[in-house]
């Protein structure tokens, strides 16, 4: 049949190409979705299987300790999933209540506002997907590496992957979290007295990159003492069971806090450059250059000529 009406021919021609354009558009959309899905799969593969798939085994401990038991893993995952869900949904109070007492104190100065401003609003500007992997596991704590990434199907682009470390501990019968690189606190209460100077190691706070010790120094002498001359940057240190020493960051402490008058005591914190490793516990802390009489020490122009010094080793 020959169509003689030119308008009719034109309409059929246009409709045919409109239909063709519609089909092409559908094909392009399906193709784009397929590409995004492939990118997601590739991202999951190249980031240590952080998305759930057949090779995802978060209970397998990577660095130190045994694999996490099935029961313990389920409990740990539950508290981590709750915490991240609360953060994703800006449920600040609920998320904050899942932190340990020590984490609130050390990381956020017991301020829920600091937690909101410095953690939630900084790390959860958009809802995050995540995967977890047991990193270090001991009897009383399990540290997980948490890999965060954006939902590519929602954003349409490959987002930056960030990593954090969460430690799960049982506090008064309930699983709680230490975050932002904070691992936890261990009570110690070990002391040593030499030349009427008593040093007591009260406890330590462990972080992924360093450790701090809370120390009580009691001066039972008749002279003002200085706990470290700072003539040598390695005069205060901890020794691990591998016999390696880890120096203290004494330059961070003003001498005002290290100077103790007769018959009084002072508590202070000292940071050491030892990264977290449960396989290498600390065995002792050494103060190798305590000045026994600050007044006499100050009189000398050449401080290295001063000889009345004390060394104290405190077993941990």
pLDDT in tens, 255-270: 999 999 999 999 999 9
pTM, to two decimals: 0.78
The 3-state secondary structure of the chain reads CCCCCHHHHHHHHHHHHHHHHHHHHHHHHHHHHHHHHHHHHHHHHHCCCCCCCCCCCCCCCCCECCCCCHHHHHHHHHHHHHHHHHHHCCCHHHHHCCECHHHHHHHHCCCHHHHHHHHHHHHCCCCEEEEEEEEEECCCEEEEEEEEEECHHHHCCCCCCEEEEEEEEEECCEEEEECCCEEEEEEEEEEEEECCEEEEEEEEEEECCCEEEEEEEEECCCCCEECCCCCCCCCEEEEECCCCEEEECHHHCCHHHHEECCCEEEEEEEEECCCCCCCCCEEEEEEEEEECCHHHHHHCCCHHHCCCEEEEEEEC
Q: What structural domains does the chain harbor?
A: 23-180 (3.10.450.100), 184-315 (2.60.40)
pLDDT band at 40 (very low <50, low <70, confident <90, very high): very low
Question: Could you tell me which residue, 184 or 126, shows the higher pLDDT?
Answer: 184
- The residue-averaged pLDDT of 195-215 equals 97
pLDDT number for residue 118: 96
């Amino acid at each position: 049949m020959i169509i003689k009406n030119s308008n009719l021919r034109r309409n059929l021609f246009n409709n045919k190409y409109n239909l063709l354009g519609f089909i092409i558009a559908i094909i392009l959309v399906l193709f784009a979705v397929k590409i995004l899905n492939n990118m997601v799969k590739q991202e999951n593969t190249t980031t240590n299987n952080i998305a759930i798939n057949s090779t995802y085994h978060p209970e397998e401990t990577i660095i130190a300790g045994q694999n996490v038991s099935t029961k313990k893993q389920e409990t740990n995952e539950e508290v981590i999933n709750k915490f991240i869900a609360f953060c994703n949904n800006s449920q600040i109070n609920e998320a904050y209540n899942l932190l340990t007492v020590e984490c609130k104190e050390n990381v956020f100065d017991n301020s829920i506002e600091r937690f909101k401003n410095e953690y939630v609003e900084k790390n959860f500007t958009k809802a995050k997907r995540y995967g977890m992997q047991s990193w270090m596991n001991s009897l009383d704590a399990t540290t997980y590496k948490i890999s965060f990434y954006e939902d590519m199907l929602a954003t349409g682009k490959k987002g930056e992957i960030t990593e954090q470390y969460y430690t799960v501990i049982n506090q008064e019968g309930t699983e709680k979290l230490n975050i932002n690189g904070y691992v936890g606190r261990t009570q110690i209460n070990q002391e040593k007295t030499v030349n009427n100077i008593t040093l007591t190691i009260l406890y330590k706070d462990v972080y992924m990159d360093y450790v701090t010790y809370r120390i009580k120094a009691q001066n039972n002498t008749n002279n003002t003492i200085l706990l470290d001359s700072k003539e040598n940057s390695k005069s205060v240190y901890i020794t691990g069971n591998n016999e390696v020493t880890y120096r203290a960051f004494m330059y961070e402490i003003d001498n005002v806090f290290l100077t103790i008058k007769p018959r009084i005591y002072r508590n202070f914190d000292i940071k050491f450059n030892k990264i977290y490793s449960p396989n290498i516990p600390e065995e002792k802390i050494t103060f190798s250059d305590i000045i026994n009489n600050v007044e006499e020490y100050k009189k000398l122009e050449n401080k290295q000529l001063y000889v009345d010094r004390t060394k104290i080793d405190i077993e941990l």
